[in-house]
Amino acid sequence: MSPQSAQSEPPPHAPLAGVIGWPIAQSRSPLLHRHWLDRYGLSGHYVPLPVRPEHLAASLRALPKLGFVGANVTIPHKEAVLTVADIVTDRAALIGAANTLIFRDDGTIHADNTDGYGFIANLEQNAPDWLPDLGPAAVIGAGGAARAVVASLLESGVSELRIANRTRIRADQIKAEFGARVVVYDWAQAGNMLEGANTVVNATSMGMVGQPPLRVLLDALSPDALVTDLVYAPLMTEFLRNAQDRGCHVVDGLGMLLHQAVPGFERWFGRRPEVDEAARQAVL
């Protein structure tokens, strides 16, 4: 081999990926990806990447040059990455946020949102009898995560999607963008939208460690409803406990966190990882 060809074909290196956020120390994604890398004996590294908002664009452009094949994105960058990415999937554009980036060989940045996929996959795994189209869904909250949940529930065939948010205009905006199947309820009447609901979702940050619990009147909640919370710290929120006390099947939010990571890991490291008890324990 001539010195010239050796220079143009560097030795292959272990793929690098990471999670971009500010701050980032709280992210559990490195624990999960390192668990999967170890478990499958794959070469590769997944690191936390603390990136200040003002450095986002420059950091994203630099990462592929440093050998990164992709990255997850978390608060506060999920919306801003869309303005830097070269290709944005339809679902990320609809949701208005991305959580998974792929750095392609041609230098382009591809942005996707896998939160909705993770949300549905978590319910399919932990509530196998759940049928999304059996009745209305009720979503509490209208932030970034709620938009992913709304998109995925509508895609799953939900005929009516009820939504309530403290700041009503964000729920109205979701109706304007996602269409006629969305029905907006006043925050003060959030309990009313549970009547006849087949699926109930807390997509607010209420109930999270350090936040007040979500207090929605559950009188109208049917014991046949599936109730889930996006909050995963704690695993059993007061909202889920109250729903469980009424006889509902409840699913915590940790599975969504695990499942949303699957497509990125598969793409970057070449193996579709399993979401099982060992993966749960790795991030707990």
Burial class (CB in 10 A: 0-12, 13-18, 19+), 160: middle
Binding to ligand NAP by residue 165, rule CB under 6 A? yes
Instruction: Specify whether 65 is catalytic.
Output: no
| Stretch of 154-162, 172-180, 251-259, 273-281 contacting ligand NAP, by CB under 6 A | 251-259
- Compute the least distance from the CB of residue 33 to ligand NAP, in Å: 14
With respect to ligand NAP, which residue has the nearer C-beta, 42 or 166? 166
Cα angle, residue 12 at apex, residues 33 and 37 outer, rounded to 5°: 15
The correct pick among 34, 39, 170, 181 for binding ligand NAP (CB under 6 A) is 170
C-beta closer to ligand NAP: residue 112 or 115: 115
Q: Which of 31, 92, 48 is nearest to 232 (CA)?
A: 31
Which string of b and e fits 233-253 if b means at least 16 CB within 10 Å?
beeebebbebbeeeebbbbbb
Beta carbons of 1 and 24 less than 8 angstroms apart: no
Please check whether residue 180 is in contact with residue 174, taking contact to mean a CB–CB distance below 8 angstroms: no
At 141, give phi and psi (nearest 5°).
115, 155
For ligand NAP, which stretch binds (CB under 6 A), given 80-88, 141-149, 190-198, 237-245? 141-149
Give the residue, chosen from 98, 250, 257, 279, that forms a contact with ligand NAP under the rule CB under 6 A. Answer: 257
User: Considering only CA atoms, which of 131, 21, 2 is closest in space to residue 72?
Assistant: 21
Which residue type does 15 have? Answer: P
User: In the complex with ligand NAP, which residue's Cβ is closer, 30 or 253?
Assistant: 253
Closest separation between CB of residue 275 and ligand NAP, Å? 12
* Options 33, 77, 78, 147, the catalytic residue: 78
Burial class (CB in 10 A: 0-12, 13-18, 19+), 105: exposed
Q: Which of 143, 196, 213, 234 lies at the binding interface for ligand NAP (CB under 6 A)?
A: 143
The answer to whether 116 touches 178, Cβ cutoff 8 Å, is no
Cis peptide leading into residue 23 (ω within 30°): yes
Residues touching ligand NAP: how many (CB under 6 A)?
A: 24
Residues of this chain, 195-214, that bind ligand NAP according to CB under 6 A: 203-206, 208
Determine which residue in the list 144, 191, 263, 273 makes contact with ligand NAP, applying CB under 6 A.
144
Residue nearest to ligand NAP (CB): 143
Q: Residue 166, interface with ligand NAP (CB under 6 A)? A: yes
Using CB under 6 A, which of the segments 15-23, 35-43, 58-66, 253-261 binds ligand NAP?
253-261
Give me the residues that bind ligand NAP (CB under 6 A), please: 115, 118, 141-146, 165-167, 170, 203-206, 208, 230-232, 253, 256-257, 260
